[in-house]
Amino acid sequence: MTFALIEGNSFYCSWERVFDPYLKGRPVIVLSHNDGCAVARAAEAKALSIRMGEPFFRIRELCKRERVAVFYHTLGHDTDQPQRSVSTTVHLIEAINDTIILVMAAEAGARQI
C-alpha cells in the first residue's frame, strides 16, 4: 500500500483565490465561523505578522490599512472544498509514475494562479 501526504498550503486562502484571481499576491485571511479568529493565512498575511488564532478585533485596523482580504469560514461551503480535492486526487492516482507527473503538473499550474 502506498501513502501520500498532500499538503494544502494555506488551504482555505488558496481556495478563495481559486474563485477570485484578483486576490493573487494580496494578503488573505480566513476567520473561524464562530469566534472570528484567523484560521488560515496566506504568505502575504503571515508577512504582516498576523498570527494563527489571532482574534479579528485585534487586527481589524491592520487588515484595513494593508488591504487584507478577509473571509469567514462557512461550514457548508468550506467543508466541501477538502472533499472535492481528495476525491479529485483519488481519481487521478493510477500509478506512482503518473502521480509524480500529475503532482508536478499541478504544482506548475498552481504557481500560475
Structure confidence by residue, pLDDT tens digits, 4-44: 566 667 878 888 888 898 999 999 999 988 778 999 999 99
Q: Of residues 21 and 108, which shows the higher confidence score?
A: 21
Name the range with the highest mean pLDDT among 14-18, 48-52, 78-82, 89-93: 48-52
The reported pTM is 0.65
Rg (CA), the chain: 16
Buried b (16+ CB within 10 A) or exposed e, 68-96: bbbbebeeeebeebeeeeeeeeeeeeeee
29 is written with which cell numbers?
485571511
Q: Of residues 20 and 109, which shows the higher confidence score?
A: 20
How confident is the model at residue 96, as a pLDDT? 44
pLDDT tens per residue, range 73-83: 775 555 555 55
CATH of 11-112, one of 3.30.70.140, 3.40.1170.60, 3.40.50.300, 1.10.10.10: 3.40.1170.60
Instruction: From residue 6, give the alpha-carbon distance in Å to each of 65, 69, 82, 85, 103.
Output: 34, 26, 11, 10, 10
Per-domain residue ranges of the chain: 11-112
